[in-house]
Amino acid sequence: MAFGRLERAHASQPISDINMTPLIDVMLVLLVIFIVTAPLLASSLKLDLPQAKTASPSDEPAFIALALDAQGQLYVGERPVDAAELERAVREAAARDPQTEVRLRADRAVPYGRVAELIDVTQRAGLTRIGFVTEPAAPR
């Protein structure tokens, strides 16, 4: 029986491979940061929406988003507008597609009369599909 020698003939070679563990750790930390911050960047307009138990997101492709904040400022999407600009934007949306849905977000502090005026503007422009955006009610 032949046994090998106990001493090493060659010196150990240094490892020349890149250690991937720190790179993967950094990538996962960045991924978690992006996952946490992405929903915060979605809507920069802060409104105190009323809550409803039946609130659910809608996936309708053709819509125009209108908002009314607590100070009475009108918005089309995230852009502040005056009454004339709002009316023009709604008329343009109705001219493109009469089935365009209006997604109306109004702060709970806004008087109902202002919301009714906004609904009247959209209906005069020819848009009759109006959805009220709310927040889901907190579980009790």
Distances from the Cα of 84 to the Cα of 38, 80, 90, 95, 117, angstroms: 33, 12, 10, 16, 13
Contact 52, 108 (CB under 8 A): no
Q: How far apart are CA 42 and CA 105, in angstroms?
A: 15
Local structure of 116: helix, strand or coil: helix
Report the greatest alpha carbon distance in the chain.
102
Q: Does the domain made of 51-136 have the CATH classification 3.30.420.270?
A: yes
pLDDT in tens, the chain (140 residues): 556 666 666 667 777 788 888 899 999 999 999 888 887 766 566 777 778 777 666 554 588 999 999 898 999 988 999 999 999 999 999 999 888 999 999 998 999 999 999 999 999 999 989 988 888 877 76
The residue among 129, 113, 6 whose CA lies nearest residue 60 is 129
